[in-house]
Amino acid sequence: MAIANKNIIFVAGLGGIGLDTSREIVKSGPKNLVILDRIENPTAIAELKALNPKVTVTFYPYDVTVPVAETTKLLKTIFAKLKIVDLLINGAGILDDHQIERTIAVNFTGTVNTTTAIMEFWDKRKGGPGGVIANICSVTGFNAIYQVPVYSASKAAALSFTNSLARLAPITGVTAYSINPGITRTPLVHKFNSWLDVEPRVGELLLEHPTQTTLECAQNFVKAIEANQNGAIWQLDLGRLISVEWTKHWDS
């Protein structure tokens, strides 16, 4: 999907990987980039607007842990203004296995709820035009960091959910693919808590492995958006974009 002249909603588009990806998206010339994030960052929004004045960049405060009905209300406001939304990026994520319930709520439930809410506007069974969803998951979804099993499991759940969305595309008209970054140098990985403190140095140990920059990840993210491959499992690792094969399909 060419990004030019498209309308895009980016949940958590101001985070580490998110902000660099927002920059790369804006450079590609969408018509509208709507950023939904829990924390306001007027400086970042101003930078994005200045980066490409032809692109309308809008911000709405949003916490992915709110009920579906609240998300639907926000999306109704956005759809009323834009009329058409081409792409939803679900990018919210936290890495802290001390916060078990919040990790699951942000990394998995939030993705499910935001997706469920946008179906009200996209589902072809309701007369909707369909749409595209890109869910930011993680390589831990298929290769767990065992010291943070809650985080890894939440990302595996998001990955499985995304794979199911892709298989449901003939019914809903909504296609989906997952973005799975490898170890990326963001504030998220510098210091975080392992489950039951099984490894207090987990962040430090993780950074001993080869990493990539947020810019490298963002550039490959844009390539994945442009590829627009339903059901793709994209691994964004060490500056490369790799298509991961999913071997099991349970057909009815």
Active-site residue (options: 60, 146, 151, 177)? 151
Distance of alpha carbon 152 from the chain centroid:
15
CB of 244 closer than 8 Å to CB of 235: yes
Half-sphere exposure of 183 (CA within 13 A, CB side): 15
Q: DSSP H helical segments within 87-148, as ranges?
A: 100-104, 110-122
Both structure tokens of 79: 């759809």
SS3 98: coil
Integer-rounded Cα Rg, in Å, for the chain is 17
Element (H, E) at 85: none
Phi-psi category of residue 221: left, alpha or beta, with phi > 0 → left and psi -120 to 50 → alpha: alpha
151 is a catalytic site residue: yes
Comparing C-alpha atoms, which of 148, 184, 156 is closest to residue 17?
184
Both structure tokens of 39: 């924390």
Q: Which residues contact 68 (CB under 8 A, 6 or more apart)?
A: 113, 116, 117
Q: Which residues are catalytic?
A: 151
